[in-house]
Amino acid sequence: MKISGRTAALALSVATVGLPLTSHADDEAALAQKGSYIAILGDCAACHTSPDGPPFSGGLGLNSPLGKIYATNITPDKKTGIGNWSFEDFERLMRHGIRKDGSTVYPAMPYPSYAHMSDNDLHALYAYLMHSVVPVEQINKVADIRWPFSIKWPLSIWRMVFVPKITPSSDNSSEIERGRYLVEGPGHCGSCHTPRNFAMAEKALDDSDQRYLSGGFVIDNWVAPSLRSDTFDGLEAWSAADIATFLKKGRDQHGATFGAMNGVVIHSTSQMTDDDLSAIGKYLKTLKTPTNAKNVSFTYNPTIAHELASGKLPTHGAALYVDRCAACHRPDGRGYPDVFPELAGNPVLQSANASSVAHLILNGGRLPALKTAPSSLVMGPYRDILDDQDIADLTNFVQSAWGNRGGKITADDVAKLRKETKWETLKGGSPETTPEITQ
Ligand code: HEC
Ligand code: HEC
Ligand code: HEC
- Average pLDDT, 10 consecutive residues per value, the chain (439 residues): 39 42 80 97 94 89 77 95 98 95 90 94 97 93 63 71 78 86 96 90 92 93 94 93 97 94 95 98 91 75 94 95 96 92 96 96 93 91 96 98 97 96 57 29
Contacts of 303 (CB under 8 A, 6+ apart): none
Between the CA of 109 and the centroid of ligand 1 the distance, in Å, is 5
- Residue 384: Cβ-neighbour burial (10 angstroms; 0-12, 13-18, 19+): exposed
CB 107 within 8 A of CB 68: no
Residue 44 Cβ inside 6 Å of ligand 1? The answer reads: yes
Contacts of 143 (CB under 8 A, 6+ apart): 67, 68, 69, 70, 106
Nearest alpha carbon to residue 140 among 196, 101, 193:
101
Between the CA of 193 and the centroid of ligand 2 the distance, in Å, is 7
Residue 110 Cβ inside 6 Å of ligand 1? The answer reads: yes
- pLDDT value at residue 289: 79
Nearest CA to ligand 3 atom 2: 328
**Minimum-distance ligand 3 atom for the alpha carbon of 347:** 26
Residue 283 Cβ inside 6 Å of ligand 2? The answer reads: no
- pLDDT value at residue 429: 40
Nearest CA to ligand 1 atom 6: 44
CB 54 within 8 A of CB 134: yes
Between the CA of 264 and the centroid of ligand 2 the distance, in Å, is 8
Nearest CA to ligand 2 atom 8: 261
Which ligand has an atom closest to residue 219 CA? Answer: 2
Encode pLDDT of 36-49 as tens digits: 999 999 999 999 99
Q: How far apart are CA 120 and CA 80, in angstroms?
A: 26
- Residue 338: Cβ-neighbour burial (10 angstroms; 0-12, 13-18, 19+): middle
- pLDDT value at residue 52: 84
Report the chain's terminal Cα–Cα distance, integer Å: 56
Nearest alpha carbon to residue 107 among 57, 69, 144, 146:
69
**Minimum-distance ligand 3 atom for the alpha carbon of 250:** 17
Between the CA of 427 and the centroid of ligand 2 the distance, in Å, is 18
CB 286 within 8 A of CB 184: no
Count of CB atoms situated within 10 Å of the CB of 348: 24
Between the CA of 335 and the centroid of ligand 3 the distance, in Å, is 9
Nearest alpha carbon to residue 353 among 417, 291, 293, 285:
417
Nearest CA to ligand 1 atom 31: 109
**Minimum-distance ligand 3 atom for the alpha carbon of 346:** 26
Percentage of the residues of the chain whose pLDDT score is greater than 90: 68
Nearest alpha carbon to residue 400 among 344, 335, 337:
344
CB 417 within 8 A of CB 220: no
Residue 365 Cβ inside 6 Å of ligand 3? The answer reads: yes
Between the CA of 224 and the centroid of ligand 2 the distance, in Å, is 6
Q: How far apart are CA 361 and CA 358, in angstroms?
A: 5
Between the CA of 365 and the centroid of ligand 3 the distance, in Å, is 7
Contacts of 246 (CB under 8 A, 6+ apart): 238, 252, 254, 255, 257
CB 420 within 8 A of CB 343: no
Between the CA of 386 and the centroid of ligand 3 the distance, in Å, is 15
Nearest CA to ligand 1 atom 39: 44
